Amino acid sequence: MSEEKLTYRQVAALLVLRELGTSLAHKELKEEWGLELDAKNRAGLIDSKLIESETRANRALWYAITPAGEDRAIEEVRKGVPVTSRTGKALALLYLRSLLAPKVAIPVEEPVQAPVTTLSPEEVEGRIREAYAKITPGVGRWAAMTKLRALLTDIDRDLQDDVLRTMMLAGRVDIEPVAILGDLKSEDHAAAIIIGSTPNHQFRIGA
């Protein structure tokens, strides 16, 4: 890392490039950020390996910050960068943001994949019966749909509902709403199976 003192323009350019995290054209640096990076200041940053410069179409100059440049930007901020009325509001905000909250990598959460079901309707019915046996002490007792859903998280919700409706029409399961809706929690409403237009929150097998 170069120990040569950087000018205000050089530090400002590093802050802008660090904030954007991508390449920036010389023209945009001047027009959008009000920062003219002249040949001397540009050469100093390039020679110190704090930025990289590339000539693209129409001989346009583009800049990108290096890892050493990011470190140097924070180092300069911690030492103190003059922020005056001539600095420009945008650059002043970048300075303050870097001072108060140095940029860190933000972990990206992987999207949760929906369950992929390869079970047949008969196999799903078997799983429903197994789950019912686990959550009730005996046949013919009412059980909450919430508890059933919790044991079938690997099976697509629509497939669960289709099989439950088929079982109900065939008389192999009873499905009803609860008598007092005020006793239900949000998870009970979410677990309900809709038959017609009515949410049903409990079921029983073998009555």
Q: State the DSSP string of 98-111.
A: HHHS---PPPPPPP
The C-alpha atoms of residue 127 and residue 107 are separated, in whole angstroms, by: 37
Q: Is residue 65 part of a domain?
A: yes
Full-model pTM: 0.45
Residues in the chain: 207
Residue 112's pLDDT is 55
- Same structural domain, 131 and 193: yes
Residue 85's pLDDT is 43
- Same structural domain, 96 and 146: no
- Same structural domain, 84 and 126: no
Q: Is residue 132 part of a domain?
A: yes
Structure-block tokens of residue 122: 């008969």
Beta-bridge partners for 174: 204
Q: Is residue 1 part of a domain?
A: no
Residue 29's pLDDT is 83
Q: Is residue 193 part of a domain?
A: yes
Residue 64's pLDDT is 92
Beta-bridge partners for 143: 203
CATH number of the domain at 66, please.
1.10.10.10
Domain boundary among 67, 100, 133: 100
The C-alpha atoms of residue 173 and residue 195 are separated, in whole angstroms, by: 13
Could you give the angle at the alpha carbon of 184 between the alpha carbons of 179 and 185, nearest 5°? 170
Q: At what angle do helices 67-79 and 8-20 cross, to 10 degrees?
A: 120
Closest alpha carbon to 76 in 98, 51, 48: 98
Provide block-wise average pLDDT over 10 residues at a time, the chain (207 residues).
73 84 86 84 91 90 91 78 50 53 49 65 94 87 93 92 92 86 82 89 87
Q: Are the beta carbons of 32 and 21 closer than 8 angstroms? A: no
- Same structural domain, 34 and 64: yes
| Number of structural domains in the chain | 2
Q: Are the beta carbons of 152 and 134 closer than 8 angstroms? A: no
- Same structural domain, 96 and 149: no
Which range marks the domain in which residue 66 is found?
8-100
Residue 113's pLDDT is 54
Domain boundary among 32, 65, 100: 100
